[in-house]
Amino acid sequence: MTTQKSHKLLMIPGPIEFEPAVLAALAEPTPSHVAPDFIEVFGRVLDNLRTVFQAPDGQPFVLAGSGTLAMEAAVANLLEAGDRVLQINTGYFSDRMAAICERSGAIITQVRAPAIGDVPALEEIQMALQQDHYTLMTITHVDTSTGVLTDVQTLAQMARSAHTLSVVDGVCSVGGEALPMAEWDVDVALTASQKALGVPPGLAIVMARPRALALFQGRTQPVASYYADWSNWLPIMQAYQSRKPAYFGTPPVNLVLALDVSLAQIIAEGMDARVARHIRLSEAVKAALTALGLGQAPARPAVAAHTLSAPYFPEGVDGAALLAKINAAGVVLAGGLHPAIRARYFRIGHMGAVSGADILAAVSAIEQGLRDVGYQFDAGSGLAAAQRVIEG
């Protein structure tokens, strides 16, 4: 995408840079949430979400809130006190999902990665599935704290074989990583607007497929969260899908208008092409980091996300000073988040409408920042490595 010269390039793992047409939708006169034109837009958004999630049999929920609300709405409606959850833990946001499940009274078994930047062994997960029955397996597709990508396809198959529902936290993956819900037999996936879907913060989005809805409809106790309760939202979503007015809580209408624009752009690009673009640009960033001598938090390329990169600061370099220098060069990057390594690494977001030009601008700023803090490297080596991948 082309960014305005009046602001610094935002290359963090969300919020991201947004397309001008998406931002323009936010400036539209705010319509009534029951106006016929808006009802048509919201209905189209719900239809198009099925396309983006690749879940033709899915039921989308679009709520005003953050990704954390999406996480809670995904599991609070499916869990009752005493239910068991198998948590596939790859970092900070896996810990958060476990905490959310515990609030619903669930009993959590965590299978943790052997080290930060890695994923749990499939054999260990299989053993856990054989030792108990779990209502849900919760999976963080991309943990934004570590840049680790989990093999959702394999894990969803394992869950299905064990008669366990799979819930995928796709906050940092949906719209950037491959996640064909129906093909992979994922039961629930969730995301937030400000990541690869390319809409400013404020929308929590959940897609639930038939087995999840059946489990919800068979509950014996009310959902503990009033706001997140699908009982309140399902009639609203169904009404908008039928192009009829309905009310439970006022939707963030301008954000829905913006989501309508972004989803149309995503579908026009095509899901396969969009994922391929994210892979190519991710490989360009990672090639640059390698050329510059920077290690990365993911243990190996096979478990590295394509929506962000998580490089370590060079030995002896003050991380805060480096990020400040990169910022002064016109690019905003994110510091570390995982508590165990927070001060040792930083994060580069590259998702949504990001372009090859954005990647090169970011790499150039990183090189400038490294020079300014006295790090020794071959000038231009990162840019050259990124350029080779982009031009591939």
Mean pLDDT of the chain: 97
pLDDT of 21 reads 98
270 phi-psi bin (left φ>0, alpha ψ -120 to 50, beta other): left
> What's the CA gap between 367 and 382, in Å, rounded?
7
pLDDT of residue 1 exceeding 70, the answer is no
For the cut 60, the answer to whether the pLDDT of residue 111 exceeds it is: yes
* Residue 269: count of CB within 10 angstroms of its CB: 14
Average pLDDT over residues 166-176: 98
Average pLDDT over residues 341-361: 98
Per-residue pLDDT at 2: 45
Q: Which string of DSSP letters, residue by residue, matches 275-301?
A: HHHHHHHHHHHHHHHHHTT--BSSSSG
Give the single-character DSSP code of 174: B
CA distance 146 to 150: 11
pLDDT above 90 (res 190): yes
Q: What's the CA gap between 224 and 135, in Å, rounded?
A: 17
Domains and CATH numbers, the chain: 9-16+270-391 (3.90.1150.10), 20-269 (3.40.640.10)
CB neighbours of 204 closer than 8 A, spacing ≥ 6? 62, 63, 64, 65, 66, 67, 68, 69, 70, 73, 190, 192
Provide the residue type at 216 as one letter: F
pLDDT digits (tens, 9 = 90+) for 70-105: 999 999 999 999 999 999 999 999 999 999 999 999
The predicted-structure confidence for 99-109, as pLDDT tens digits, reads as follows 999 999 999 99
Tell me the mean pLDDT in the region 174-186: 98
Q: Above 60 in pLDDT, residue 18?
A: yes
Contact 1, 353 (CB under 8 A): yes
pLDDT reported for residue 3: 46
| Cα–Cα distance for residue pair 205/58, rounded to 1 Å | 12
Which of 1-10, 137-146, 185-194, 274-283 is least confident?
Answer: 1-10
Q: How, if at all, do strands 136-140 and 84-89 pair?
A: parallel
pLDDT tens by residue, 213-265: 999 999 999 999 999 999 999 999 999 999 999 999 999 999 999 999 999 99
pLDDT tier at 6 (50, 70, 90 boundaries)? low
Length of the chain, in residues: 392
CA distances to 10, 41, 161 from 359, rounded to whole Å, are: 11, 33, 41
For the chain, give the percent of residues with pLDDT over 90.
98
Look up the pTM and report it. 0.97
